[in-house]
Chain A
Amino acid sequence: QSALTQPASVSGSPGQSITISCTGTSSDVGGYNHVSWYQQHPGKAPKLMIYDVNDRPSGISNRFSGSKSGNTASLTIAGLQAEDEADYYCGSFTSSTTLVFGGGTKLTVL
């Protein structure tokens, strides 16, 4: 199972919106509405930000939103804040009953 494709890095200024893409295939992202997104700060465990494409766990800011079109899922962060600077990973359920992650995207808040 190949990793999902994410951009290595994205950046934005405080207050702006950014979008991180996550491209897979019809056997994972495109075939199921079970895409999740994680935020990871250095030295910390990952934190679930989005699950099932566009659902937010309790306590997650509505500045974070998810979507999907075909084989590509996206995470949008609105109103960028300094504390949003982190690595972000997408994950998707697959037709093999496994989970595949993306390679990760480093978000820099300028």
Chain B
Amino acid sequence: EVQLVESGGGLVQPGGSLRLSCAASGFTFSTYAMSWVRQAPGKGLEWVSSIISGSRTFYADSVKGRFTISRDSSNSALYLQMHGLTAEDTALYYCAKPIIGVLRGFEDWGQGTLVTVSS
């Protein structure tokens, strides 16, 4: 059974930084691209970033230059380093695994970790 468990969320001041983690199990982590998707309170889904390998990464314009996605296949872990956080980054951040490819559909999701940016 695929399991994705996010952690690292919390309350951070505007301009601050946070590092999210996603612990994956139940599948061969190294063979899948992985993604982060966020959802602001009461709002819709927003794709944030995806990673195929260390050098093949993709970002939404809204986070490009501020967020960095990375992975550690030896530990089946996905990360999202976030800098320069603003109130607009307040959201539940989901780790997601695709059913096939990279951006063709996310079959497995974690339960999310909440990031709140506020002074």
Residue contact A45 to B111, C-beta cutoff 8 Å: yes
- CB nearest neighbor in B for A3: B44
**CB within 8 A of B106: which of A1, A3, A46, A102?**
A46
A38 at interface by CB-CB < 8 Å: yes
- Neighbouring A residues of B46 by C-beta, 8 Å: 101
Q: Whole-angstrom distance from the CB of B87 to the nearest CB of chain A?
A: 19
Residue contact A98 to B94, C-beta cutoff 8 Å: no
- Neighbouring B residues of A91 by C-beta, 8 Å: 45, 47, 103, 105
Name A94-110 residues within 8 Å CB distance of B.
97-104
**CB within 8 A of A34: which of B50, B103, B110?**
B103
Interface band, chain A: 20 to 34
**With known contacts A91-B47, A101-B44, A45–B107 Cβ distance under 8 A:** no
Interface of A is mostly: strand
Q: Whole-angstrom distance from the CB of B99 to the nearest CB of chain A?
A: 5
- Neighbouring A residues of B47 by C-beta, 8 Å: 91, 98-101
- Neighbouring A residues of B37 by C-beta, 8 Å: 46
A interface with B by C-beta (< 8 Å): 1, 3, 34, 36, 38, 40, 45-48, 50-52, 57, 89, 91, 93, 97-104
B interface with A by C-beta (< 8 Å): 35, 37, 44-47, 50, 58-61, 94, 99-101, 103-107, 109-112
Task: List 21 A–B pairs whose Cβ atoms lie within 8 Å, in order of A's numbering.
Answer: A3-B44, A34-B101, A45-B94, A46-B37, A46-B45, A46-B109, A51-B99, A52-B100, A52-B105, A57-B99, A57-B105, A89-B44, A89-B45, A91-B45, A91-B105, A98-B59, A98-B60, A100-B47, A101-B44, A103-B44, A104-B44
